[in-house]
Amino acid sequence: MADALVSYLPFVSEYWLHIATVIVGFALFRVLKNALVTTTTKNSKKTRVGCQLDSYDLSLISEDLSEHDLVAAQDASNGEDNSPQILYKSVQYTAEETVSRAAKFYSAINRRRTLRHFSARPVPLAAIHSVIKAAGTAPSGAHMQPWTFVVVQDADMKSQIRAIVEAEEEINYRQRMGDRWVHDLKDLNVNWVKPYLEIAPYLILVFEQVHGVTKDGLKQTHYYSRISVSIACGILLAALQEAGLCTVTSTPLNAGPAIRRLVQRPTNEKLMLLLPVGYPAEDATVPNLTRKALDEIMILI
């Protein structure tokens, strides 16, 4: 055996560089092949989720969602749909009735205005129950219903919320918002002083559940939570208008965490909107504004 190996020494000695090149080349070929297979597999999974990974910001879907979660969700959805189904019962209208009802709804909702002058006149709590139930009919990602509506009627609590909001809003107007933003709000006659937060009979605090919590205390992913809650808020505004109630859509910059702690909501919830709700004051005024015409907001293709 040793003699046989010795007989190859002259050959190896003369062609060792060529032999080493072949060995290294073969090793590189194996490495590149494995990398190509892995990349192809990952790309095929990305294709199965409808290119969402390439064209969407995952934070829009969920703040704690990863690429792996999307692929896993798509894989899980490839099975048969065994969820219970019921027959959808709809009310059928003629074409004329459909046009008429749509026009009547537009006429009613077009009277909606942002109001900052409220009456202290009591509002039936039953009406608040109904408008929030209406908001709760909104569609949501995976039907997670990622919203919490906190209704504040206690006078002392409203006073504390006003103090928090006004303190932060003064800083916003003086420092954070910038001259252009403040200038754009000038014609609307608004500032950081918000007495309506105490005058309005109710404050509705709309919280986005960034993620859920299971009965076992585990984190539950909420998909498109911000968009879902936004849709619910739109329905809430329409329901308030239908009930003859008014509001102002207040987004309390930087006041959210303090208000969340005040009303004792968990850390997985973020304050998204603060809505004072009530009847308009008898001398209430609103800015003389116009809305864009249909041809400015709609494109028919």
- Per-residue confidence (pLDDT) for residue 47, from 0 to 100: 42
Name the token pair of 214: 């299971």
| H helix count then E strand count, the chain | 12, 6
Phi-psi region of 189 (alpha: psi -120 to 50; beta: other; left: phi over 0): left
Q: Domain limits of the chain? A: 9-71, 112-283
Judge residue 196's burial from the number of C-beta atoms within 10 Å of its C-beta, 0-12 exposed, 13-18 middle, 19 or more buried.
buried
- What sign results for the dihedral spanned by CA atoms 233, 134, 160, 192? positive
| pLDDT confidence bin for 168, thresholds 50/70/90 | confident
pLDDT of 71 reads: 47
- Is residue 20 scored above 90 in pLDDT? no
* pLDDT number for residue 64: 58
Beta carbons of 149 and 135 less than 8 angstroms apart: yes
pLDDT score at 254: 86
Burial of 165-187, coded b for 16+ CB within 10 Å and e otherwise, reads: bbebbeebbeeebeeeeeeeeee
Instruction: Give the span between the Cα atoms of 109 and 127, in whole angstroms.
Output: 18
Most confident of 8-12, 95-99, 164-168, 184-188: 95-99
- Is the per-residue pLDDT at 301 higher than 90? yes
Question: What does pTM read for this prediction?
Answer: 0.74
Task: Count CB atoms within 10 A of the CB of residue 224.
Answer: 19
* pLDDT tens-digit map of 216-274: 989 999 999 999 999 999 999 999 999 999 999 988 778 999 999 999 999 999 999 99
Distance between CA atoms of residues 213 and 9, nearest Å? 71
Q: Which CATH number fits domain 112-283: 3.40.50.720, 3.40.109.10, 1.25.40.10, 3.40.50.2300?
A: 3.40.109.10
pLDDT of 53 reads 42
Taking residue 135's Cβ as centre, other Cβ atoms within 10 Å add up to 23
Cβ-contact 211, 220 below 8 angstroms: yes
β-partners of residue 148 are: 207
Q: Which residues neighbour 108 within 8 Å (Cβ) at sequence distance 6 or greater?
A: 241, 242
- Average pLDDT on 290-300 reads 97
